[in-house]
Amino acid sequence: MEPIIELRGVRKSFGRLSVLDGVDLAVAPGTIHALLGPNGAGKTTLVSILATLVRPDEGHVRVAGADPVRDAVAVRRRIALTGQAAAVDELLTAEENLRMMAALHGLRRDAARARARELIARFGLTAAAGRRVSTYSGGMRRRLDLALSLVVAVPVVFLDEPTTGLDPTSRRELWEVIRSLREGGTTVLLTTQYLEEADELADRVSILRDGAVVAEGTPRELKRAVGEEVVEIHGPRGEVLHTEPTDGSPAGLRRALDTIDALGVDGELVVRRPSLDDVFFALTEPSDTSSAPLPALTGRTRP
C-alpha cells in the first residue's frame, strides 16, 4: 500500500539553525500516526512543510498524491490543519460558525445548513448548537474547531497538539473524535506532548530528535524494545530499592520473586511495564547512549 504521507531526506534550516536533518517518514492511509519529540526537535516545522506553509530546503515530499511545493493548491484541498488554539468566532453559535465556513467553501445555503447539522451531531455539540461559543468549555471549542476544519471532507488531517490545555475529561472526549476520523478512513498525523495520548491513539509512532527520526514503530514495539516487564520493590517513601527484570510470564514472575526473596529485599511490590515515557526518555535525553536503543524498529534511525 502506497503511503499517503511521505518524506524522504527532508532538510530545513533557518539561517544557521538546522531544524530538519534528513527526515524520512511514511504514513499509511487510514491510520493515526503520532509524532513525538522534545521542544525544538522539528515537529512543527515538519507539519508546516506538509501543510504547504514552509518550503523544505531539500528532499522529497508527497501528501495525498501531490507535492506541497510544486502543487500547493492541490495539497491544501486534500488536508485539514488544526493547531493548539481553537480558531472559532466566539460571538457566533456553533451552527453559525459551521454554516459560515461552509459558505466560504462554496456550499449553497441548504447544503451548508445540512453539513453544519451533520458535523454538530458527529462532534457531540447538538445540545449546545444554539449557544454562543463564548459559553463553551475548552474541550467543546476544540471539537468545534476540528469540525470547522472538516466542513469539506479531506483524506488527511494534521493535528498539532490538539489537546494542549484541556482537562482530562475533555481530552478523552476529543480522543473519541480523533478515533472516529480513523474509523471513517481519514489519515491523522498527530503531534502531542502527552505520551499517554500517543499510546492510546496511534497505530504507529515516530520519535524526532535533533531534526531526524530516531525510532519508529507501533507503541507496543517501541515499548518492547526498551525492555520487558520489571518487578520493583519500593521503599516507604516510594523510592525504588531493587528492580528485577521479568519476561511477563507466570514463570518469569516467580523467578523474579524468588530472586528478590533470596536477596532479602523488603518493601512494596510493583510490577511495571515499559511505557512510551521510557521510550521517549531513552531516545531524547541528552546522553552518550541515548541513540543506541531501537535500531531494529526502523530503517531510518540516526545516530
Q: Is pLDDT above 90 for 203?
A: yes
Q: Is pLDDT above 60 for 303?
A: no
206/266 Cα distance (integer angstroms): 40
pLDDT in tens, 62-75: 999 999 999 999 99
- Using 50, 70 and 90 to split pLDDT, how confident is the model at 143? confident
Helical ranges in the chain per DSSP H: 43-50, 72-77, 94-104, 109-122, 138-149, 168-183, 195-201, 219-226, 250-263, 276-284
pLDDT in tens, 229-282: 778 888 888 888 887 777 667 887 788 888 888 888 888 888 777 667 777 777
Helical ranges in 165-218 per DSSP H: 168-183, 195-201
pLDDT at 32: 97
pLDDT at 85: 57
- Using 50, 70 and 90 to split pLDDT, how confident is the model at 285? low
Mean pLDDT (whole number) for 165-188: 89
pLDDT at 240: 83
Amino acid at 104: L
64/235 Cα distance (integer angstroms): 53
Q: Is pLDDT above 90 for 12?
A: yes
- How many of the other CB atoms lie within 10 Å of CB of 18? 16
C-alpha distances (whole Å) from 164 to each of 78, 139, 179, 207 are 25, 10, 17, 19
The distance in angstroms from the start CA to the end CA of the chain is 29
pLDDT in tens, 64-119: 999 999 999 999 999 998 865 556 888 999 999 999 989 988 899 999 999 999 99
Cβ(120)–Cβ(126) under 8 Å? yes
Residue 134, sorted as left (phi over 0), alpha (psi -120 to 50) or beta, turns out to be: alpha
Q: Is pLDDT above 90 for 142?
A: no
User: Domain extents for the chain?
Assistant: 1-78+154-227+274-303, 92-147, 229-273
- Using 50, 70 and 90 to split pLDDT, how confident is the model at 188? very high
Amino acid at 268: E
pLDDT at 292: 41
Mean pLDDT taken over the chain: 85
pLDDT at 251: 84
Q: Is pLDDT above 90 for 288?
A: no
Fold assignment, 1-78+154-227+274-303:
Rossmann fold (3.40.50)
Write phi, then psi, for 176 (nearest 5 degrees): -65, -35
pLDDT at 226: 65
Amino acid at 110: D
Q: Is pLDDT above 90 for 6?
A: yes
